[in-house]
Each structure stands twice: as structure tokens, then as C-alpha cells.
Amino acid sequence: MLFSRAFFMFHHIRARRKRDAIRSLAESMDIRGVCKHGYPGFLYVEGEDTSIQAYIKEIKRMKWQSVEVRRKETANLPNKTPIDAEFTRLAGPLTIIEVETSKEMSEILRTAGLGDFLRKAMVGASE
């Protein structure tokens, strides 16, 4: 199984309709993540690679002032590996959790062991 994580940066995420779409789309694709709405907007997601690729495509289809996938990582996991394998970092339900501040998002990702991924996404480093 290919497993991926991706980090998006938006000019902003304000509209309730788009915030709801970000969450419901993730839930329909068994994706877990964290979204910081407002100015700027950030979104971290993780799940099976085919779902992440489709999710990226759908998010980019939506009308945004600007959206960019700042970082994406993929790992090949054994088929028997459950979705909560070592590569998966976030715990909890398969949905998008909303936070108010960049600090909250950073704390969640760092606590999940994603500090290096976040740092590289913020400086625009790609693999």
C-alpha cells in the first residue's frame, strides 16, 4: 500500500462552504488531517496515496485566490500494515480537525512527530 501525506498553503480559507467541503471530502476518502482557516490557510492531510492524489486534485479544482501543495511524501507500506502504521502520525477519526491559529496546528503536528515535515513544507523544500 502506498501511503502519503501532503501540506497545502492557501492565501486564505474563510468561506464556511469551502471549510465544510475540505472536511466532507476528506471523510469520504478516509483521509485524516488538520486545517488552519483564516489568513493564511494551511492544510495537512494523510491517507492512502490514491485518496491523497484525488483529494489534491479536488481541492485544486475549487476556486481559490492561491493554493499550493508545499510538500508531499509517499511511503510504500506492506499490504498488511493498518492505516495507523508508523508512517501515519495523526490519531483520531478520519476527518479534518479545524484549528484557529498556526501555533495550534504546529503543536499538533510537532506532537505527532511531524516537526521536520512541517519545517520543510514551510521553507518550500521538496523531496
pLDDT tens, residue by residue, 31-63: 999 999 999 999 999 999 999 999 999 999 999
What's the domain range around 56?
2-123
Alpha-carbon torsion, ordered 45, 46, 52, 58, to 10 deg: -20
CB 41 within 8 A of CB 65: no
Cite the DSSP H helix spans in 29-101: 49-61
The domain tally of the chain equals 1
Per-residue model confidence (pLDDT) at position 127: 41
Per-residue model confidence (pLDDT) at position 76: 85
- Element housing 110 (H / E): helix 102-111
Helix 49-61 with 16-28: angle, nearest 10 deg = 160
Q: What is the CATH number of the domain that holds 6?
A: 3.30.70.100
- pLDDT tens string, the chain, 127 residues long: the values are 789 999 999 999 999 999 999 999 999 999 999 999 999 999 999 999 999 999 999 999 999 899 999 999 998 877 655 554 555 678 778 899 999 999 999 999 999 989 899 999 988 644 4
Per-residue model confidence (pLDDT) at position 80: 55
Per-residue model confidence (pLDDT) at position 125: 47
Per-residue model confidence (pLDDT) at position 126: 45
Per-residue model confidence (pLDDT) at position 79: 67
The strand pair at 32-36 and 96-99 is best described as parallel
Q: Is 55 exposed, middle or buried (0-12, 13-18, 19+ CB in 10 A)?
A: buried
In angstroms, rounded to a whole number, what is the distance separating the alpha carbons of residues 34 and 95? 8
Grid cell listed for 1:
500500500
